Structure 1
């Protein structure tokens, strides 16, 4: 296991995981590993912490899905720039909604939505795929300032009559909400070709000549043709009314359905059964579908031109946005660094840092960057051994006899500190069994040397 040099860490976090300023950058942020992890969590195929308890969310059937709803609330609570509404609409039904207000035209509303209830256990395709897609779009766009408002909506009780979406659509119509488009996702992860292999990768857009729904379909196809997606569209008119977009059609709103191709009989054979698991999905196809939805929503919401990326030069971090105000943060403690309000910042200590930039009414915060450039040499290959890697449970850190008293930090790909420890042993074992699957970075530091290692948690 070779140590990752500081310059590589900066490149990784400053470029790949920083939040872009154009649609292609936004598309590139869709993370198939995160999508896969969230699908496994939300289908109960992997345990997850909800309200501090280790849960298995394998049952999301109506009136038995409060744990699932609570999970969704916590996912939205982790985001910036959204207001969360936990919306009961009868004795058991709960819509979970996050609203990101537009900076320029807050009354121009676009809705991206899916239902999260099921008819059986697991139900990965129907409709964890749509739900997780909404969460991914929200994760990416909530870091951006937008001209128009996006509502990220997750409906309950779709399977017993579109009840959650009908409640919301009726209320929106009564309030005169200026909803310009509703993009509903329902079953978008199955493709009959062998998963990950070349094939037709067809998907349906179901629309009708109601309000501006046909024009909305054309706009999605324009986005499809403007960037590179491994997808082929099937236009369906008149589209099905068997999902939540129909609630908005009933109120005269522009809306449509995006999903796998029922029109060409290429839908999951495990529909409405407990055999509908993550293993049956074509995750590569699903990733392309989520990219398309993300690109469309970013296009319609319209990105405000603020650059929230950071460049590292030597021991200095610099915001790439000029003519604004700045506040640097210590991500390890999630606190503002006193006096660090200039465009450039020189940390006094190694750690993870971000910058919040303000331009007019727009406030955006960069991703957290691992900073490890204060004069320490890097460990040699034979001085530190991190194993096994990939790891499922216990991660071992073995140092040679010349190294004592090490500090250990484990970060996720966003730069968030997951674990902080120290040791004076030559072999230190970290129990990371409860940490979600994904890619992490392990920073090890002695009084004289330092090293950062990529770790894959299975």
Structure 2
């Protein structure tokens, strides 16, 4: 079992759905900060830690990308409910694949994939962006029960002949795998529209009229039109064969044996692709991050739809004394997140912690078992601030969020969390004149601010415009 360190702070009664229950919830879970961090780490913009060592992944060319592959394995190993395959297909090539079995129809397989190798240093758009989107989809959907099987596949040696995906596709064909759709992501981070300004935000869907590839395209368009995305689709038929989806078209006796597959990426059809293609100028700083975020939300929503999301509520309601699983009529096992161990005897819908700490609940309903996010419980022995003692303003906020505490003479801690519970900002204050947080460059949305001293604490919902 993995360790969940994400927290949400509730000192008074509150409800927090730790992970998504609907496709719209899935969309809301896609985290732009997580995506950006993965792209920066995977394209060598910043260092990262792989197998306990601090490293910088500057180059991912096929003869020099074992470090990149190890990074991907480590990312998948942090997730539950998946089986990891490190698939060596020649002396250098390694496909990194994670499989999440469907609860109802495990033989019905949908694949979301991207290549992770490159032709030069950095190569953020091509294809750290597609890789990051696959990892983000896996992070979110692996917490959910799905009717159908999803394969999260990251291919090697795309740049020298689609070798990794061809090996997998031919093996799957020979095994008779029931692959119902392959969504290939290749370069999804560049759009020439100025960031923060309205633009076309166009993206391509490449397909040909084999198997149900046209139907896949229609299903993606339907998801696009069913929810709110700042995107515009360009349908390309016949689509390019120069990426990994083509490996699934050309298996067996074409076109009779073809698998359904499409490519989704930035709009080459309208000449709006990165000008830094296949060069070391393809850097994180050249990406359109809101566009990248929107495309990742779309593809994750599509995979949740075809995967067949099963509705189990794994949220937790927290009061000052008690944690309660939102899902009724189920089996429960409460977990101590600090030790990753089940709590003996804690098998009721509600749990009353005896010590402050981080807790989660494993919920089993029918054939579906889901684990909630960890909830930080820190109210034992700590008084709450009175409403008259703390003022947080302006709220909604655009730039600086100010905090005022009456009669305060001691150090104050300000901890800001996003709606998923991720710690965004920390500040320790001993001077009243510095009691503010800069939020100008943060994304619009809901945040939670924890204000604490040595004796009192309070949590406040913040709206960033």
Give the TM-score category using the shorter length. Answer: 0.7 to 0.9
Give the stretch that moved more between structures: 284-293 or 195-204. 195-204
| CA–CA separation in structure 2 for the residues paired with 1:452 and 1:444 | 9
Q: C-alpha displacement at 1:402, in angstroms?
A: 7.1
Which residue pairs with 1:77 in the alignment? 77
Matched, 1:191 2:197: no
- Secondary structure in structure 2 of the residue aligned to 1:293: helix
| CA–CA separation in structure 2 for the residues paired with 1:32 and 1:303 | 22
Matched, 1:305 2:308: no
Matched, 1:222 2:189: no
For 1:401-440, what aligned pairs fall within 5 Å after superposition?
Answer: none
Q: Is the contact between residue 443 and residue 452 of structure 1 (CA under 8 Å) also seen in structure 2?
A: yes
| CA–CA separation in structure 1 for the residues paired with 2:147 and 2:31 | 25
The counterpart of 1:325, out of the listed 326, 331, 353, is 331
Which residue pairs with 2:349 in the alignment? 343
- Secondary structure in structure 1 of the residue aligned to 2:133: helix
- Secondary structure in structure 2 of the residue aligned to 1:295: helix
Q: Is the contact between residue 321 and residue 379 of structure 2 (CA under 8 Å) also seen in structure 1?
A: yes
| CA–CA separation in structure 1 for the residues paired with 2:341 and 2:158 | 42
TM-score (norm 2): 0.82
| CA–CA separation in structure 2 for the residues paired with 1:168 and 1:151 | 12
Q: C-alpha displacement at 1:305, in angstroms?
A: 2.1
Which residue pairs with 2:60 in the alignment? 60
Matched, 1:262 2:264: no
Which residue pairs with 2:398 in the alignment? none
Which residue pairs with 1:86 in the alignment? 86
Which residue pairs with 2:320 in the alignment? 314
Q: Is the contact between residue 368 and residue 414 of structure 1 (CA under 8 Å) also seen in structure 2?
A: no
- Secondary structure in structure 1 of the residue aligned to 2:324: strand
Moved over 3 A (4+): 4-11, 378-383, 400-403, 406-417, 437-446, 448-454
Q: C-alpha displacement at 1:407, in angstroms?
A: 12
Which residue pairs with 1:392 in the alignment? none
Deviations 1:390-447 (A, max 9, x none): xxxxxxxxxx9878xx999999986699xxxxxxxx99xxxxxxxxx9999889674x
For 1:125-204, what aligned pairs fall within 5 Å after superposition?
Answer: 125-204=125-204
User: Cα 1:165–1:357, aligned 2, differ >3 Å: closer, same or farther?
Assistant: same
| CA–CA separation in structure 2 for the residues paired with 1:54 and 1:157 | 25
Matched, 1:7 2:5: no
| CA–CA separation in structure 2 for the residues paired with 1:410 and 1:31 | 16
User: Cα 1:306–1:267, aligned 2, differ >3 Å: closer, same or farther?
Assistant: same
Q: CA RMSD in A?
A: 3.1
Which residue pairs with 2:241 in the alignment? 241
Which residue pairs with 2:3 in the alignment? none
Give the stretch that moved more between structures: 330-339 or 22-31. 330-339
| CA–CA separation in structure 1 for the residues paired with 2:8 and 2:338 | 21
Q: Is the contact between residue 184 and residue 255 of structure 1 (CA under 8 Å) also seen in structure 2?
A: yes
Q: C-alpha displacement at 1:235, in angstroms?
A: 0.4
Unpaired stretches in structure 1, ≥5 consecutive residues: 384-399, 418-425, 428-436
Q: C-alpha displacement at 1:154, in angstroms?
A: 0.0
For 1:278-293, what aligned pairs fall within 5 Å after superposition?
Answer: 278-293=284-299
| CA–CA separation in structure 2 for the residues paired with 1:9 and 1:224 | 38
Give the stretch that moved more between structures: 353-362 or 120-129. 353-362
- Secondary structure in structure 1 of the residue aligned to 2:264: strand
Which residue pairs with 2:278 in the alignment? 272
Q: Is the contact between residue 368 and residue 415 of structure 1 (CA under 8 Å) also seen in structure 2?
A: no
Q: Is the contact between residue 191 and residue 285 of structure 1 (CA under 8 Å) also seen in structure 2?
A: yes
| CA–CA separation in structure 2 for the residues paired with 1:133 and 1:258 | 12
Q: Is the contact between residue 309 and residue 321 of structure 1 (CA under 8 Å) also seen in structure 2?
A: yes
TM-score (norm 1): 0.83
Which residue pairs with 1:352 in the alignment? 358
| CA–CA separation in structure 1 for the residues paired with 2:13 and 2:123 | 39
Q: Is the contact between residue 185 and residue 257 of structure 1 (CA under 8 Å) also seen in structure 2?
A: yes
- Secondary structure in structure 1 of the residue aligned to 2:99: strand
User: Cα 1:193–1:342, aligned 2, differ >3 Å: closer, same or farther?
Assistant: same
User: Cα 1:94–1:440, aligned 2, differ >3 Å: closer, same or farther?
Assistant: farther
| CA–CA separation in structure 1 for the residues paired with 2:227 and 2:53 | 42
Q: C-alpha displacement at 1:333, in angstroms?
A: 1.7
User: Cα 1:411–1:282, aligned 2, differ >3 Å: closer, same or farther?
Assistant: closer
- Secondary structure in structure 2 of the residue aligned to 1:109: strand
- Secondary structure in structure 2 of the residue aligned to 1:164: helix
Q: C-alpha displacement at 1:452, in angstroms?
A: 7.1
Q: Is the contact between residue 10 and residue 459 of structure 2 (CA under 8 Å) also seen in structure 1?
A: no
- Secondary structure in structure 1 of the residue aligned to 2:16: helix
Deviations 1:327-379 (A, max 9, x none): 11111221111211000111111221110001122110001111122241247
Aligned residues: 413
Deviations 1:289-346 (A, max 9, x none): 0000001000000111211111113311111111111011111221111211000111
Deviations 1:241-281 (A, max 9, x none): 00000000001100010000000000000000111011101
| CA–CA separation in structure 2 for the residues paired with 1:255 and 1:366 | 33
| CA–CA separation in structure 1 for the residues paired with 2:111 and 2:9 | 41
